[in-house]
Structure 1
């Protein structure tokens, strides 16, 4: 099996699927290319046609829309694929930000790729990255999770799976659940530094930085707007020190396939000892006074 190669702008017989980000609040964040693309395509597949129509009106875009959201995805994909295969160009947009990122789109992208239809992404607004770069938390590496499950048991299981991640973790949350979600995070993660980014790019944009306890206090007192939650990684756990004698530790690594010298180095590092000390212990060499 060979990799499938597809040049976005090479001549092709089908139409093209364009993934067009839209502003997350401030309409000035719409790019020139996004406007031109929405004007040029034959159809816009929108998460909410009423919401998108306001954007189209603002930029004087006359292109027709069709609804494409989480409740009609499977029914709509065959229709959109047929139009793409007939040569039409379609732009897919979500209500705000990047298509497919906690929004509809990924199923259509996968179906288009499998059908040999070019998929062209446009860069643009994204709430998670916008929040991250201003958070004050080390931005690289990071893990984007999005919305946690709503069911308490599933949410706890998801958080437990993230507890030992060595990077910052980014979440989305609504104002109605943010306090409850922060309490669940504290219960699993313990006390950590975190940031709430609220109403990004809008008039009341705000960053609340502090411990999870401090953010819980804020959220319980006042939680309005859509939130990005960024949780800093926890302190690294100290490596477990083996209770086996040094010679047995070295032998265990050799038995597992390590070369003797490599095993001695590894055991010395794990125990905070000099290599020579472990070497002497393994070979039964008494250190001279």
Structure 2
């Protein structure tokens, strides 16, 4: 197969806040590859600097993904390994990593996962909700009828639901959950693994009240 002569694509998870969470295998992989494809070259450069080495960085994000896919694949085709990282956590979750992975798979390149931190699983395991079946919906539409409809579609979902939300929209999301799904038990986590990590659990109405005087900060993960 072509994977015997081509390089490999490594999907490398990086810390979501606490730099101590990076695995030794991730460090070894990042050190060994020809280049690192990343969303933000400055942010990844800072991570590599913290780890004590430098690498060629290739910008790969939502804006330039279509253009950069061919460049990255051409490097792998020369027998050189590439690591793909996101700004934080596991690539492919709410970022454009899947496009590169799909293209690499279609070319029969070897794609390997270097697992590690993930806000999805981190928030899920501390929620106190069933873990045997769950669905990740990521970021819902930011406004309008599409936002309400996306929540309405979850009304009869029996699995545990996980959502991401930005700080400036979290209060609106909670209000819509209360309006459309009812006063359910939920868990809301923010700043996972960071100094001010916090998880609040309870009825949606109670959490809405708790958050009224608070200025939301950090990314939120909501578990329903």
Taking the TM superposition and a 5 Å limit, the aligned residue runs for 1:119-268 are 119-222=111-214, 223-231=216-224
Q: Whose relative contact order is higher, 1 or 2, with alpha carbons under 8 Å and at least 6 apart?
A: 2
* Contact residue 3 and residue 108 of structure 2 kept, 8 A: no
Quick one: distance in 1 between partners of 2:67 and 2:212? 41
Query: When the two structures are aligned, how many residues end up with a matched partner?
Result: 223
Larger radius of gyration: 1
Quick one: distance in 2 between partners of 1:147 and 1:119? 26
Deviates more, 1:109-118 or 1:212-221: 212-221
Deviations 1:183-211 (A, max 9, x none): 11111101100011111101111111111
TM-aligned CA deviation for residue 177 of structure 1: 0.6
* Contact residue 197 and residue 208 of structure 1 kept, 8 A: yes
TM-aligned CA deviation for residue 11 of structure 1: 6.7
Q: TM-score, normalised by structure 2?
A: 0.96
Quick one: distance in 1 between partners of 2:222 and 2:4? 42
* Contact residue 38 and residue 61 of structure 1 kept, 8 A: no
- The answer for the alignment partner of 2:46 in structure 1 is 54
- The answer for the alignment partner of 1:89 in structure 2 is 81
4+ residue segments displaced more than 4 Å:
none
- The answer for the alignment partner of 1:37 in structure 2 is 29
TM-aligned CA deviation for residue 221 of structure 1: 2.1
Equivalent of 1:101 in 93, 99, 102: 93
Quick one: distance in 2 between partners of 1:84 and 1:11? 10
* Contact residue 194 and residue 230 of structure 1 kept, 8 A: yes
1:16 is aligned to 2:8: yes
The 3-state SS of whatever aligns with 1:109 is helix
* Contact residue 178 and residue 219 of structure 1 kept, 8 A: no
TM-aligned CA deviation for residue 151 of structure 1: 2.7
Deviations 1:151-194 (A, max 9, x none): 32111111111110111100011111100111111111011000
Deviates more, 1:63-72 or 1:215-224: 215-224
* Contact residue 18 and residue 92 of structure 1 kept, 8 A: yes
Give the structure with the higher percent strand: 2
